[in-house]
A and B are shown apart, each in its own frame.
Chain A
Amino acid sequence: DVKVTQSSRYLVKRTGEKVFLECVQDMDHENMFWYRQDPGLGLRLIYFSYDVKMKEKGDIPEGYSVSREKKERFSLILESASTNQTSMYLCASDTLGESKDGEQFFGPGTRLTVL
């Protein structure tokens, strides 16, 4: 079974803090994704990466950055957390060409609250 794990299920931070959300997958997937999920807005893509050290902006990258130093690990960074970044953050991975295009495997999510 594909496993995608996220470092924390719940996180509480203060405005202005630097926040790291970590995601690890164990299936050697090339592609990894970070989404945020908000009520009434569904999932919105923040950033994705299709290879080590590669990153692409998604639909809402402002206020976020990412790091992919190793294939299995994709980190989401909030340089200076703000209250409007309070959300559920979901990590996902997939591998194009070896499975159905676009089938993604999700982690359990990190619920971040910024006070």
Chain B
Amino acid sequence: GEDVEQSLFLSVREGDSSVINCTYTDSSSTYLYWYKQEPGAGLQLLTYIFSNMDMKQDQRLTVLLNKKDKHLSLRIADTQTGDSAIYFCAVFSGYALNFGKGTSLLVTP
């Protein structure tokens, strides 16, 4: 099956940029997603990128996709304390989403 890997923890200072990285194995994946989970809540779709794109920007969020290296990243500009959460990379495998283990982002004042 699809393997989706992410680092487990990231700590940044408020106002800095955060970059969360993800690698995957299935080169036929069509859509790739970033979900955010705040404490005690379910997952919310943050952004996505289609596999024929290299980059997608949405306000403070930038998604970069390197299909050759099967590498996806999420950059959050001007990170705020409210961005502290778990971020999941997810790749569509044909019938379901395969999720990474999630990256816990801690934003310190």
Query: CB within 8 Å of B: which residues of A?
Result: 4, 33, 35, 40-43, 45, 48, 50, 56, 58-59, 90, 92, 100-109
Contact = CB atoms under 8 A, between A and B. Distances in A.
A114 to B, nearest CB: 20
Interface string B84-96: 0000101010011
Interface string B62-88: 000000000000000000000000001
Contact of B31 (A35, A45, A90, A101): A101
| Interface footprint category on B | 20 to 34
Interface in B1-54: 1, 8, 30-31, 33, 35, 40-45, 48, 50
A105 B43 CA distance: 8
A104 to B, nearest CB: 6
B45 A42 contact: no
Given A48-B95, A102-B31, A103-B45, 20 more contacts: A33-B96, A35-B99, A41-B101, A42-B102, A48-B96, A59-B1, A92-B43, A100-B31, A100-B48, A100-B50, A101-B92, A102-B30, A102-B33, A102-B97, A106-B42, A107-B42, A108-B41, A108-B42, A109-B40, A109-B42
